[in-house]
Structure 1
């Protein structure tokens, strides 16, 4: 069987109201702001002449809205609609969905002497931050690192198994801040700073094959 390699253009969704309010929005949602719509349109302009053989996004409205803006602005005869999958959602923050981001990471990290998300990631990893949050969740429903990757690996396999994607093709994926960071931590070979979140509308590029993923660009604005 021939192994194909394709280019995955991973775009973080446009700015939302929860982004402004510094609130966690994993499986919860808030609409794109006017700035978020304008930012998505700017990204659409940059990608207008890139042909996408397939497009994917999570089933959150912020991702679907961003995908529509980018695909509607495409002039390269790309696919018109994204494939929508809950496998591609942001991390689930459980009890802390919608909470202030800094307060939540304090609750998760402070028992370990690490009061900020950056502190946790610097000493351990984004994966450990997920595990600390699950531990802090009184319902223990926030996703652990293992649970998160079990879901996301299904999402990556969904894309890999798309019969419309051929060797050398470009594929669009509208994603989320922590999801992008998690991909870059796992596949970036330590070359990128994952203590800082990617900007809304930014582009991260990956080369994906059946058995390998390589980050080639991160947080391009």
Structure 2
């Protein structure tokens, strides 16, 4: 039996608006982000979910609060659903990171799967393995059901690639807006048993920032 997963990126934060890398730093939603969370809850009012999972960072938790209250669910908070750890890049804007760490930024921008951020960051390959593991675990636990997952932009990047077979190092040609709805489906135990149903649906939103600064 298959499992449908609705992935929601958290609502906007002040650091999103500043194009500042958050990673594991625990930044709350701004006023617009709270409004987006409420709009997403309304947009999902007709859906029925068998379970809800959420990153343990507060921007995701605050987004999930509005949705699960309306859907009557108690979310499970999971640190495996956190954003990628950006190491020394965390708290910097993209421009600041480029200026301060030009060589490291080149690897980051080119999506080098083996590149590890200085000061404790994750490589893209390590991050992808973490997200693959948690999504497979969730999908297997709810076969035949529909699950809500509230998480982060980098996680959605990996989920889209998992569902479409796009390589980690391929340039991103899809958007990841705050609080949009993204649907994928798992069909079995194989790594290729995923498909994309719908992506970046934002009919319920009036305005939303993409995860990357130039999009």
1:88 aligns with 2:70: no
Q: Does 1:36 align with 2:33?
A: yes
Task: Tell me the residue number matched to 1:215.
Answer: 196
Are positions 1:172 and 2:151 aligned together?
A: no
Structure 1 segment 45-60 matched on structure 2, within 5 A: 45-60=42-57
Alignment map for 1:35-184 (pairs within 5 Å): 35-74=32-71, 78=72, 80-105=73-98, 110-111=102-103, 114=106, 117=109, 120=110, 126=111, 128=112, 131-132=114-115, 134=116, 137=118, 139=119, 141-162=120-141, 165-167=142-144, 169-184=145-160
Query: Which ranges of structure 2 fall in alignment gaps of 5 or more residues?
Result: 203-215
Cα distance, 1:9 vs structure 2: 0.3
SS at match of 2:49: coil
**Structure 1 residues 196 and 103: alpha-carbon distance in aligned structure 2, compared to 1, 3 A threshold:** farther
CA–CA distance in structure 2, aligned partners of residues 187 and 89 of structure 1: 19
Per-residue deviation at 1:149? 2.5
Residue 17, structure 1, aligned to residue 14, structure 2: yes
Deviation track 1:23-59 (CA, whole Å, cap 9, x = no partner) reads 1111112111111010111111110110000111111
Q: 2:184 aligns with which of 206, 211, 216?
A: 206
Moved more, 58-67 or 192-201: 192-201
TM-score by length of 2: 0.81
Alpha-carbon distance, 1:193 to partner: 7.5
Report SS of the residue matched to 1:40: helix
Q: Considering only aligned residues, what root-mean-square deviation do their CA atoms show, in Å?
A: 2.5
2:7, 2:148 within 8 Å by CA — same for their partners in 1?
yes
Number of equivalences = 196
Secondary structure at the aligned position of 2:125 is classed as: helix
